Amino acid sequence: MKLGVNIDHVATLRQARYAGMLDLPNSEPDLLAAASACERAGAHGITIHLRADRRHIQDQDVFRLRETIVSKLNLEMGNTPEILEIALKLLPEEVCLVPENRQEITTEGGLDAAGQIHALNPTIVRLQSAAVRVSLFIEPAFEQIEAAKKLGADMVELHTGAFANAQGEARQKELARLQAAADFASDLGLQVNAGHGINYTNIHEILMVPHLAELNIGHSIISRALFTGLESAVIEMISAMNGPRQ
């Protein structure tokens, strides 16, 4: 199982002080340095979300990262013409299509692929025609997985937020839902990834989900890095991910 580190919140910290002033030599923290630290620690990829409102990652960030990282670049994006054109110029190894709500703090809930077949199809076709692998960030629901297969997506990323926020019996139900969804997606020939709300505490339960190829984790790693440093935080997460699969 591989780790993609989402560095959006490194940009969030930078934007808090230097929004509109990224050309200043003291603009910090530096996303390129953050990505390099993650790669040195063993991360298999760097994940960034270029939002329509540009609240953290900026256009120049994606192109600078494309030129400098040595691992895989995974671009999260909403299905909008503007961001699609940027993605086709950028040509990341992977694109993950996600929902966007301008009022949300971070992406909440999965993409309604089943209800947006006609809107998503041309975007996926254009990306795959440019040799970009496409993932859909969806709820662990059979109808959404079936829609991803119908659309010809290469992967699904199961939204683990409901599991991460649940407690007690509800948490076990959400874990069972993830397990069933992962089995179903794998049976359909889709690569199975997961992300949202995964941390150093619940990772041992995530290991109970079968067929997972990659986890995309951001907030928890960046939070831990405040106390341990970014490389140590990534190493610790990879170590936890390499625990016994159940």
49 is catalytic: yes
Question: Hey, what amino acid is at 154?
Answer: D
**Which residue in the list 39, 49, 174, 214 is annotated as catalytic?**
49
**Which residue in the list 174, 196, 205, 211 is annotated as catalytic?**
196
**Which residue in the list 39, 56, 76, 139 is annotated as catalytic?**
76
Q: Is residue 95 packed enough to be buried (19+ CB in 10 Å), middle (13-18) or exposed (0-12)? A: buried
What gap in Å lies between CA 12 and CA 157, rounded to an integer?
A: 23
- Structure tokens that stand for 108 in this block: 């909440």
9 is catalytic: no
56 is catalytic: no
What gap in Å lies between CA 139 and CA 142, rounded to an integer?
A: 9
DSSP secondary structure letters along 81-141:
HHHHHHHHHH--SEEEE----TT-SS--S---TTT-HHHHHHHHHHHHHTT-EEEEEE-S-
Tell me how crowded residue 170 is: count the other CB atoms within 10 A of its CB: 12
What gap in Å lies between CA 208 and CA 68, rounded to an integer?
A: 35
b/e map of 21-37 (b: 16 or more CB within 10 Å)?
eeeeeeeeeebeebbbb
Question: Cis (ω within 30 of 0) for the bond into 99?
Answer: no
Q: Could you give the residue numbers annotated as active site?
A: 49, 76, 196
